[in-house]
Amino acid sequence: MDRVKGKVAFISGIARGQGRSHALALAKEGADIIGFDLCDDIEHVGYPLARESDLAETIRLVEEAGGRIVAARADSRDFDAVDEVLRQGLDKFGRVDIAVPNAGVVSYNPIWEWSAEQFRNVLDTNLVGVWHVVKAVMPHIIAAGNGGSLIFTGSVASLKGCPNTGAYEISKHGVVGLMRLVAMEGAPHNIRSNIICPTNVRTGMIDNAQTIGLFVPDNPNATLDDAAPAFATMNMLPVPWISAQDISNGVVFLASDEARYITSVVLPIDAGSSDTISMGG
């Protein structure tokens, strides 16, 4: 229970889903947590995002597990807001060792039907926002001289074509490039950089009417379980999706000293999805 004891992790998109799962998993292994979430909807994203009550629940769960946490509302698209949350955490914990730029959204349309605003909102959240986390944490990790680990959130859409995902796929390809740059430029400072590329994860990003409708277009009242057979066609293993905990297991490993010589790695945790034919292909 102490694989990252004494370390501090900075996580974006912490209020629910994968971000909450990562915060809880790292806290249970001894890390202090700094995190933020928008806690509001984004225009052109067709499903509800986290709320302040979700962020409060993450704080409660981390503290219930015996962890310490500094968390606040912030928009990953706003560097000053991201940097301010990190500074609040540094004031309390005095260091940062791990970064998990996790915040992301998805929207759907054939690429030529995307509006400029829709495109920018997704790209700015999923790629520019990730860079903001990098820009905020790297000077502090370098100055401390203790090394560090950045674990990026990719997708099978980082690795292959996924129709109708537009700026989501573009941004997730871009995050792979960002991860590799950080690995190369951080290596002299013993800072490792890796990316996890999941298949569909059962969170609010897929458990919503818009996404379910892509998989079960003939049933407007379909639930996620109704869509399970269609989701399963994306994976090699016979599962429709995986859990956030499956990804958190990889995050903890990559953050820990067990992975001290692992850097610049693209790690699919995807039930074989990255080696299957693209959805609609």
- pLDDT, tens only, 62-121: 999 999 999 999 999 999 999 999 999 999 999 999 999 999 999 999 999 999 999 999
In a domain, 235, yes or no: no
Indicate which CATH number applies to the domain containing 119. 3.40.50.720
Structure confidence at residue 230 as a pLDDT band (50, 70, 90): very high
Q: What is the largest CA-CA distance in the chain?
A: 57
Rounded-to-integer distance, Cα 210 and Cα 226, Å: 14
In a domain, 61, yes or no: yes
The answer to whether residues 73 and 38 touch, using CB atoms and an 8 Å cutoff, is yes
Catalytic one of 47, 108, 168, 261: 168
In a domain, 125, yes or no: yes
276, pLDDT greater than 90: no
Lowest-pLDDT range of 73-77, 260-264, 266-270, 273-277: 273-277
Q: Which H, E and C letters describe 112-179, residue by residue?
A: HHCCHHHHHHHHHHHHHHHHHHHHHHHHHHHHHCCCEEEEEECCHHHCCCCCCCCHHHHHHHHHHHHH
In a domain, 3, yes or no: no
Helix or strand run (H / E) with residue 36: strand 32-37
> pLDDT tens across 159-215, in order?
999 999 999 999 999 999 999 999 999 999 999 999 999 999 999 999 999 999 999
Number of compact structural domains in the chain: 1
1, pLDDT greater than 90: no
Is 108 a residue of the active site? no
* pTM, entire model: 0.96
In a domain, 32, yes or no: yes
> pLDDT tens across 11-45, in order?
999 999 999 999 999 999 999 999 999 999 999 99
Beta bridge partners of 32: 8
Six-digit token pair at 35? 């995190």
- Average the pLDDT over 267-279 and give the result: 83
Residue 97 belongs to what domain range?
8-201+243-275
Q: How far is CA 89 from CA 92, 96, 171, 185, in A?
A: 5, 8, 28, 25
Query: What's the full length of the chain, in residues?
Result: 281
Sign of CA dihedral 85, 95, 172, 229: negative
280, pLDDT greater than 70: no
Beta-sheet strand order (sheet of 98-100): 69-73, 32-37, 8-12, 98-100, 148-153, 191-198, 266-269
Q: How far is CA 148 from CA 13, 34, 101, 104, 188, in A?
A: 20, 15, 14, 23, 11
In a domain, 261, yes or no: yes
Name the residue type at position 94. G
Q: How many CA atoms lie within 13 A of 20 on its CB side?
A: 20
In a domain, 231, yes or no: no
Q: What is the pLDDT of residue 278?
A: 46
In a domain, 48, yes or no: yes
279, pLDDT greater than 80: no
